[in-house]
Chains A and B, each alone.
Chain A
Amino acid sequence: MADTPEVTDTTFDADVMKSDLPVLVDFWAPWCGPCRMVAPIVEELGEEYAGRVNFYKMNTDENPAVPSKYGIRSIPSLLIFKGGELTGTIVGFRPKSDLKKRLEEAIL
């Protein structure tokens, strides 16, 4: 399974805000157990939605600016952007079926 690519404070604008496709960003940190459970599900979704939605992960330990801008105080947090606008936020670990439903709503 392909690793979800990293996005950083530096590349966020180009990769997420200026993306033609909707984007899901998985905010995580190495010390967060539930984040490690979310990662493989995000990878699976990345394959299922290839060509329709771009998927990135952002390490909140290494990238303080973007998490702070979006007021992230809990991880895992999945933020969904469409046309540079935040259209969905999923906080905490959720089952894959829930994530798909929320993703579908956010990219409509």
Chain B
Amino acid sequence: MDARTPVAATEPARRRHVALLVLFLLLVALPAIAQGIGQPFLIATFTRFVIYAIAAVSLDLILGIGGLTSFGHAAWFGLGGYVVAIAAFHVQDGSTLLGWGGSTEALVVWPLAVVVTALVALPIGALSLRTSGIHFIMITLAFAQMLFYLFVSVKFYGGDDGLSMQRRNTLAGFDLRGATAFYYVCLACLVAWTALCAAIVRSRFGMVLSGCRQSERRLSALGYPVYRYKLVAFVLAAAGAALAGALWANAARFVSPDMLAWVKSGELMVMVILGGTGTLYGPIVGAFALLGVEQLLSGWTEHWMLILGPLLVLFVVFARRGLWGLVGGRS
């Protein structure tokens, strides 16, 4: 037959499956490990890693799979967080928002965060996707900054200072105060979201999205209205980031405009690139790596960015498929 490599070579695929299984088992065992080595604070640390991983996977859906370099992804993360914090604020305050007294039930406010964010992302995506390339990067950044300044200026919800939550949401009446319980809830969200994204990538929709990245011109010639597909992907990715933001608000019991800042968008991009653009699982590893290195180095020197910067350069130059590419060995 033909010596050229088939698209889905089986050997690296098996290695990726093994790596994924190992990663999953480690995350499941983490609370036990943390307790075992007498470092229970690691549970809270990894809760945050897991939350960022959700946001990074959602960014990879449009950036890595769809080839849409959105530089405003943190806006959806922050918006999701604010929805949860504002709902809790009204419960604490006794005031109402458009006649609604707020809620602290996760089954109400988390889906609400996702839906509200998706509804905001829809018109912003519809406008942004009229452009492409560098213009798309700039317009997504501009919209994110607009949302950032919106929350800075709304003094009622804390403005610059942010907004605190007295306690975490309850999940179907169940208390999420315990670090381990909350960790597992976040981990379940990561697994569910990543599995959903993986299914989408394999589906007919995913094939079209991947085609958009490779040649939009070809897709149009095949009769696909590419704009609509990109818009749906944009909104889906925003929804995933909103879920992460809702979890983050609970983890920190605090939201602030910093969650929407362009620096945060940049961090999410770094996680995706470090982990492996377009690999979907790589950004999880990327999030852990970036936050882990940050945690380790910042305990040692406050100039940790000086070390992380060159590391990133090395990755971009020598490991195009990121950390996940080192595992999967895909070209």
Determine if chain A interacts with chain B.
no
